[in-house]
A = this chain, B = another copy of it.
Amino acid sequence: MGVKGIRTALKVDFDKHASQQAGLHNRWHPDVPAYGKIANNEVVKIECLDWTGGQIKNNDSADDIKNVDLTQIHYLSGPFDIETAEPGDVLLVEIQDVQPFEDRPWGFTGIFSPQNGGGFLDELYPEPAKAIWDFEGIFCSSRHIPHVRFAGLIHPGIMGCAPSAEVLAEWNRREGELIAANTTNRDVAKPPEPQNVHAGFAAEAIKAKVGQEGARTIPGRPEHGGNCDIKNLSRGSKVYLPVHVPGAKFSVGDLHFSQGDGEISFCGAIEMAGIITLKFTVIKDGMSKMAMKSPIFHPGPVEPQFGPGRYLTFEGFSVDENGKQHYLDATVAYRQTCLRVIEYLRRYGYNDYQIYLLLSSAPVQGHIAGLVDIPNACTTLGVPMDIFDFDIRPEAEVVRRDMGSCAFAGK
């Protein structure tokens, strides 16, 4: 009777640029070649770079955030062929563990400039900013947001199987239509981007094709999941993913030490490089058996638990900050909810960008409360009070502290 260690299906190399590593890629396309094979029912470890491929540094300037090259992102690990997986199957992925690298116990949260990435509140908070988080076992804290400390609800931001050519064409069609119809001055979606495309070890012709057709990894998409940024997909969760191509061509990346519901600052989670341990099981003909159009998941029993009575919860409605009434718009309502938290917490001495970063990264609970009472959507945002080392209950005295600052970019 032996003991078998777990195979590492992909190692990353911190001394080599992400674009030079054959096990990484940064577009969704059926032709990105499989980096390796994983057996049905096998457990493997997969190493991942942070989503930017190492562009962001552990320092006190947000210049790197300001100048981040978004054509490169996200560097995903994979794709992997899962033996026996065929289109129409469901790939059950059990997240057995996620860890930062032992010698890289830190991560970052960023606020991007509207000119380069933007974020949920970028009209109000256009400055690039950054917070570095230090990991202390299961906890994290930041010199850029003092008096806060919490346990990570660690998870991958991105998991998914490759689209088929048909699925990819559909993505390009519908997102193209949105782009074509855009009359605003902001990007509403990202079309295929040949620049800085990385297609693993694909030959040049394939790589060019991936650049021209490949879907950006930024949005999650209903047909395969992708960049869902679901904070509860943590250790112990099972995820059921539709399979669209032979072998599934599964990829994973964008690991987060923690994230709040909504990941509001876009680079909002605590982004990190790390190692994920996954078990793969193929459910034959699962899409039809489970009537599945989008991924579903079953969280594990282990989460930071604050108790229902330990949240301070804010309400927001679909009336924007200019007094304009929107029709049942949960997005507008959630933005207002975030602003209500910022107004409340700034009384303790934090600047608004610190709170914006905090809301993006701490395990805040963003709920859709009411979505039918015309014209107002109502959303709530629950802030766990135990992440602060002072008392934020409304009945406690407000003491204004020197909270320092998050990192900003030089002018």
Interface residues of A (CB under 8 A from B): 1-3, 5-6, 43, 58-60, 92, 94-97, 102-106, 119-120, 132, 134, 136-139, 151, 170, 174-175, 177-178, 187-190, 218-222, 225, 227-232, 235-236, 240, 261-266, 268, 277, 279, 283, 289-317, 319, 323-331, 334, 336, 340, 343-344, 346-347, 365-380, 382, 386, 391, 393-394, 398
A308, B232: Cβ atoms closer than 8 Å: yes
CB distance from A103 to the nearest CB of B (A): 5
B222 touches A371 (CB 8 A): no
Could you give 26 example pairs across A and B, Cβ below 8 Å? A1-B59, A1-B132, A137-B277, A139-B236, A189-B325, A218-B373, A220-B315, A220-B317, A220-B373, A220-B378, A222-B317, A230-B315, A231-B369, A263-B372, A289-B398, A294-B314, A296-B314, A296-B315, A298-B394, A300-B308, A301-B309, A302-B304, A305-B305, A306-B309, A331-B371, A366-B368
Q: Is the CB of B317 within 8 A of A218?
A: no
Given A297-B313, A365-B367; 14 other pairs, CB 8 A cutoff? A43-B136, A190-B374, A229-B378, A232-B380, A236-B309, A262-B372, A290-B344, A291-B343, A293-B340, A298-B393, A300-B309, A305-B309, A306-B307, A306-B309
Cα(A283)–Cα(B334), bound, Å: 27
Q: Most chain-B Cβ atoms within 10 A of its Cβ — which of A189, A296, A307, A314?
A: A307
Q: Once the chains bind, are B1 and A323 in contact (CB under 8 Å)?
A: no
C-alpha gap A326/B179 in the complex (Å) = 10
Docked pose: A91 CA to B35 CA in angstroms = 50
Residues of B close to A230: CB separation below 8 A: 313, 315, 369-370, 378, 380
Nearest neighbor of A333 in chain B, beta-carbon distance = B330
Partner of A305, one of B229, B302, B346: B302
8 Å CB contact of A3 from B58, B138, B304, B323: B58
Which residue of chain B has its CB nearest to the CB of A174? Answer: B325
Nearest B residue (CB) for A296: B314
Residues of chain B within 8 A (CB-CB) of A220 are 315, 317, 370, 373, 376, 378
Question: Is B375 touching A324 in the complex (CB atoms < 8 A)?
Answer: no
Most chain B beta-carbon neighbours within 10 Å: one of A106, A343, A374, A377? A374
Partner of A370, one of B3, B95, B229, B283: B229
In Å, the complex CA distance between A365 and B308 comes to 13
